[in-house]
Amino acid sequence: MKVSTSNKEMGLIDYTPGQDCPSCGQMVWDNTKKPKINPNSPDFKCSNKAECGLAMWIFKPKPQAKNDISTTIGLDMILQELREIKGILRGNPQVIHRLSPAQTRTE
């Protein structure tokens, strides 16, 4: 067996059910019509087991979770704050002063 990873990648690219093996041109077994025993077993498998044995999976895009949006917003806010902090550090000592009023009071 030489190829489990690249086979999987190939399966994610472009295979229309019913086509011959994109690698060797042999018939491809369609495993989508029978229940899967192992969820990781390939959806399509080249019948030329001896010389090819290409395994392919149907690409199923993950549904976008709502969390993703808030995570993005959160990151944006963090980046924005970092930019502000960077600006403060780069330039204006008065701004730094204003950020630590406790310190000014004790002086």
List phi, psi (to 5°) of 18. Answer: 100, -20
Query: Interface with Zn ion includes 21 (CB under 5 A)?
Result: yes
Q: Which part of the chain contacts Zn ion (CB under 5 A), choosing from 4-12, 39-47, 78-86, 99-107? A: 39-47
Shortest CB 34 distance to Zn ion, Å: 20
Query: Interface with Zn ion includes 55 (CB under 5 A)?
Result: no
List phi, psi (to 5°) of 23. Answer: -90, -45
Which CB sits closer to Zn ion, 26 or 31? Answer: 26
* Contact present, 65 and 13 (Cβ < 8 Å): no
